[in-house]
Chains A and B, each alone.
Chain A
Amino acid sequence: MNKLILGRYFPGESWMHHLDPRSKLLAAAYFILVIFLANNWQTYLLLWVFTIFVLYSSNVSFSVYLRGVRPLLWLILFTVFLQVLFTGGGVIYLEWGPITISEFGLLNGAYIFCRFVMIILISTAVTLTTKPIDLTDGINALLRPLRKLKVPVDELSLMLSISLRFVPNLLDETQKVMDAQRARGTEFGAGSLLQQMKTLVPIFLPLFASSLNRAEDMANVMEVRGYQSGEKRSTFRQLSWGIRDTASLLIMLLLTISMIWLRTETTGY
């Protein structure tokens, strides 16, 4: 049960692992925007080279990435088929009722497939190489400007870290409650729908009650130790922006420039 992974973090010592979560988040969000610049095979090829380079520099095996894409494969194929079957234009290879398989359709299908898979791969690369708690810190740092708008950024990030911290404990507790009910003869997932639902209430009741107690204890402890919401807090984990972070953002800039250049060179706009 403890093995059930929260997030998909893979420990490692790669270039990607050592990047600051802020630069990773920024670069990933930016990549999703840059992808929409691509409009022909040259630009897609460049994006693929970049994506493969990122995956390679994360030092996580490719099969792990493929596992990340697999659950979404049907959705991707469905959209690709829609594109292929219903887009006209260019040389038409097959026409049957409303269905046409055309040059443009195939091309669009291929592009959309690439776009999908690349976005998924890049966002997977970030979650594979960053601990959830570091991602939280990164998000907190990036949202800091919102403080000026009276958004309680610090409280939000405190809550996020508490949530992440308690997920394993709560998993254990759920397991315990279920075992306790099993020992009393409850069978999960058996019987009619209503019977199945009835077996749930004796799980949720103790789980919620103990979570409420836990929250109360923790709030008391925090106040005793001097926590006051809204006060400035210092952090145990410090983020440090290094040369490689600046370098990564420069690489993103370089990617953008080459994309724009390739676009204008090959298609003229």
Chain B
Amino acid sequence: MNSKRTLFLIEVAIFAALAIVLDLVPFLSFKIWAQGGSVSFAMIPIFIVAFRWGIKGGLLAGFLFGILQLITNPFIVHIAQAFLEYGLAFTLLGMAGIFAKPVKEALQNGKRRSYFTYITLGVFLGCLFRFLAHLLAGVVFFAEYAPEGQPVWLYSTIYNGSYMLPAFILSTIVVGFVFYKQPRLIKISS
């Protein structure tokens, strides 16, 4: 009775909402630096969807998350920057879904090592693409606002890398353990 399409739409929507929630919950933020820099968990639900539904689900969940952020808490300094950061960056997180199939197979056959390898690869790929989009947005931003001759790529890399790298490590560990402890979560009920 349940056509998969409706379930897909609802699930992606609810997980995008979960991403916003995990972004909002302040006491869940993680102290990594003594100064109080925090890393958000928002990417985790997006990766969960990506590994469950594959690349299409991941991209869609990421896209929704981006739009939700744009609606609730926008930071816009330039049209191109807004498009890159809100339209593209989070959508690209869904690229992790490329590895959905091998992850499921490894999990089913109890191959622990290859399972964690594929999870890491997937999360890394998603984070890498998101990072590149932010990097580009940063360059657009500085190209518009900083004087000529500044090492804009360097600024953008340092700034975006400083939160993307810890977020990548955190997401890999949590996503990896969630499916490992509860393998049924990765299966789509029919």
Q: Which residues of A contact B (CB under 8 A)?
A: 4, 6-8, 29, 32-33, 72, 79, 82-83, 86-87, 105, 108, 112, 116, 119-120, 123, 127, 132, 135-136, 139, 155-156, 158-160, 162-164, 166-167, 170-171, 174, 178, 188-189, 193, 196-197, 200-201, 203-205, 207-209, 211-212, 214-216, 218-220, 222-224, 227, 229
- Taking the closest CB of chain A, its distance from the CB of B107, in whole angstroms, is 15
Determine whether B158 belongs to the interface, using a CB cutoff of 8 Å to chain A: no
> Complex: how many Å from CA A8 to CA B177?
35
Are the C-beta atoms of B14 and A220 separated by less than 8 Å? Answer: no
Are the C-beta atoms of B9 and A159 separated by less than 8 Å? Answer: yes
Are the C-beta atoms of A174 and B25 separated by less than 8 Å? Answer: yes
Q: Which residues of B contact A (CB under 8 A)?
A: 1-3, 5-7, 9-18, 20-22, 24-25, 27-28, 30-32, 41, 44-45, 48, 60, 64, 67-68, 71-79, 142, 145-147, 149-150, 170, 173-174, 177-178, 181-182, 185, 189
When distances are taken between beta carbons in the complex, the residues of chain A under 8 Å from B20 are 6, 163, 167
Which of A163, A212, A215, A222 touches B64 (beta carbons < 8 Å)? A163
- Which residue of B has the minimal Cβ distance to A214? B14
When distances are taken between beta carbons in the complex, the residues of chain A under 8 Å from B71 are 7, 127, 132, 135-136, 139, 160, 164
Are the C-beta atoms of B178 and A164 separated by less than 8 Å? Answer: no
Are the C-beta atoms of B27 and A201 separated by less than 8 Å? Answer: no
Are the C-beta atoms of A197 and B170 separated by less than 8 Å? Answer: yes
When distances are taken between beta carbons in the complex, the residues of chain B under 8 Å from A6 are 20, 24, 72
When distances are taken between beta carbons in the complex, the residues of chain A under 8 Å from B22 are 174
- For A158, A200, A220, the residue with the greatest tally of chain B CB atoms inside 10 Å of its CB is A200
Known: A163-B64, A219-B2. 15 other contacts (CB 8 A): A82-B145, A83-B145, A108-B147, A156-B64, A163-B14, A167-B21, A171-B24, A188-B27, A193-B32, A196-B30, A211-B14, A223-B1, A223-B3, A224-B1, A229-B9
Are the C-beta atoms of B14 and A215 separated by less than 8 Å? Answer: yes
- Which residue of B has the minimal Cβ distance to A172? B21
When distances are taken between beta carbons in the complex, the residues of chain A under 8 Å from B15 are 211, 215
Which of B17, B44, B74 touches A123 (beta carbons < 8 Å)? B74
- Taking the closest CB of chain A, its distance from the CB of B131, in whole angstroms, is 18
Which of B13, B44, B147 touches A86 (beta carbons < 8 Å)? B147
Are the C-beta atoms of B17 and A170 separated by less than 8 Å? Answer: yes
- Taking the closest CB of chain B, its distance from the CB of A159, in whole angstroms, is 4
> Complex: how many Å from CA A11 to CA B84?
31
A-B contact count (CB 8 A): 175
> Complex: how many Å from CA A130 to CA B174?
36
Are the C-beta atoms of B64 and A209 separated by less than 8 Å? Answer: no
Are the C-beta atoms of B2 and A220 separated by less than 8 Å? Answer: yes
Are the C-beta atoms of A207 and B18 separated by less than 8 Å? Answer: yes
When distances are taken between beta carbons in the complex, the residues of chain B under 8 Å from A135 are 71
Are the C-beta atoms of B30 and A189 separated by less than 8 Å? Answer: yes
- Taking the closest CB of chain B, its distance from the CB of A37, in whole angstroms, is 14
- Which residue of A has the minimal Cβ distance to B65? A163
Are the C-beta atoms of B174 and A197 separated by less than 8 Å? Answer: yes
When distances are taken between beta carbons in the complex, the residues of chain A under 8 Å from B75 are 72, 120
- Taking the closest CB of chain B, its distance from the CB of A158, in whole angstroms, is 7
When distances are taken between beta carbons in the complex, the residues of chain A under 8 Å from B32 are 193
- Which residue of B has the minimal Cβ distance to A229? B5
Are the C-beta atoms of B64 and A229 separated by less than 8 Å? Answer: no
- Taking the closest CB of chain A, its distance from the CB of B45, in whole angstroms, is 7
Are the C-beta atoms of A8 and B146 separated by less than 8 Å? Answer: no
Known: A32-B79, A127-B71. A212 touches B5 (CB 8 A): no
In the assembled complex, 9 residue pairs joining A and B whose CB atoms fall closer than 8 Å, in A order, are A82-B150, A86-B146, A127-B74, A160-B68, A200-B174, A201-B174, A208-B178, A216-B11, A219-B6
> Complex: how many Å from CA A188 to CA B26?
12
Known: A7-B72, A79-B146. A159 touches B13 (CB 8 A): yes
When distances are taken between beta carbons in the complex, the residues of chain B under 8 Å from A196 are 30-31
Known: A205-B178, A219-B2. A119 touches B147 (CB 8 A): no
